[in-house]
Amino acid sequence: MSVLDGVVIIPVIRCNSPDVAVRVTEVLIDAGIRVAEITLTVPNAVDAIGRLARGDAGRRALIGAGTVTTADEVRDAIHAGAQFIVSPCLVPEVVDAAIAAGVPVMPGALTPTEILQAVRAGADLVKVFPAQSLGGPAYIKALRGPFPDLPLVPTGGVDLDNVADFMRAGATAVGVGSELVSRDALARGDYDEIGRRAERFVKAVANVKRAGAKPCF
């Protein structure tokens, strides 16, 4: 069983400093989200991952590393405390390094061929990216025809207007970036707005679960 089992909302945190990444993650956790993906595009991202993993956030949520593209980055992130690894595409050495360390890995894929290759390579989850650009929930629904049981995580364009549709289309979880942690809010330092938006995402997903909606495939 993966530590990511049961995870539904995966925030993708991109910002211009490790301090901001830490603060944003703490705000998201307080809003009810129990996982955070700190992308390695954040300056000194490994430092932010380490601070979060060793602090209170690490006791309350899963802290992972995103935009990981090399085996060395996998090892550095895990050494800092990352509990899962996300890559924007299928990089075999990234998958292999994560598996060797016993840490869940979620490579990115888009086409049916890439998705199946990712699963056969050992992916715990598959990041379907960019999901909205290729049809959004309708694309996830279409993939569920040949792949009814694969763990798909649409990312890219998931927002409050379509997150429920993605879940009903058969998404295992969703990755959410600027639609959750908006660039405008970051620029203003408006962490309250980020927290409110996170609460709305949590509520939207909870409503789908409470309704007992069945995947529409």
Catalytic residue positions, numbered? 37, 127
- From residue 7, give the alpha-carbon distance in Å to each of 2, 36, 173, 192: 10, 10, 6, 23
Q: Are the beta carbons of 57 and 33 closer than 8 angstroms?
A: no
Q: Which helix (H) or strand (E) holds 109?
A: strand 108-109
Q: Are the beta carbons of 61 and 34 closer than 8 angstroms?
A: yes
Residue 178: CB partners within 8 Å, gap ≥ 6?
14
